Amino acid sequence: MIKSLDVIQGTLDLIILKALALESGHGWGISDRIRTMSNDVFKVGQGSLYPALQRILVKGWAKAEWGISETGRRVRFYRLTAAGKKQLTRETEQWNTIAVAIAAALASA
C-alpha cells in the first residue's frame, strides 16, 4: 500500500483546478476530493490549501461566495471560472508533456 504523500510542489494549483472542474465546493470538500481523486495518496492540509485557493481567486481562475455547509457552518464555496477552465487545460497539457519526458528519462539505460 502506498502511504499518503504531500502534493508535489508546483502541482497544487493544477490539482485544485481539476477538483473544482469536477465539482464546486468548500475547502474541506476540495481537500477530501483531492484525496479521493488520488486514491488516498495525496493529502492537502489547510496550510497549503487555503493559500493556494487565495492565489487561484486572485488570478481569476475561481470565484468564491459564502454559504452554509452540510454541517451548518458558514464556509466559502469555490467554483471554477471560464479563465480557470482555460488554465486547467494549459496546465494539464504542460503536465502531460513533463510526465512523458520524466518517464522517458527514467526508462533510459
Q: What is the DSSP-derived secondary structure letter of residue 3?
A: P
The stretch 85-98 carries a mean pLDDT of: 95
pLDDT band at 17 (very low <50, low <70, confident <90, very high): very high
Q: What is the pLDDT of residue 1?
A: 45
Q: What is the pLDDT of residue 7?
A: 63
Is the Cβ–Cβ distance between 57 and 64 less than 8 Å?
Answer: yes
pLDDT of 8 > 80? The answer is no
Full domain range(s) for residue 61: 5-107
Q: What is the pLDDT of residue 63?
A: 98
pLDDT of 91 > 70? The answer is yes
Q: Distance between CA 31 and CA 45 in Å, rounded?
A: 7
Which residues face 79 on adjacent strands?
Answer: 63
pLDDT of 104 > 80? The answer is yes
In this prediction the pTM is 0.87
Q: What is the pLDDT of residue 9?
A: 61
Average pLDDT across the chain, whole number: 91
Tell me if residue 5 falls in helix, strand or coil: strand
Q: Compute, in degrees rounded to 10, the torsion defined by CA atoms 34, 96, 14, 80.
A: -100
What CATH code is carried by the domain that includes residue 58? 1.10.10.10
Higher pLDDT among residues 6 and 33, named by residue: 33
Domain count, the chain: 1
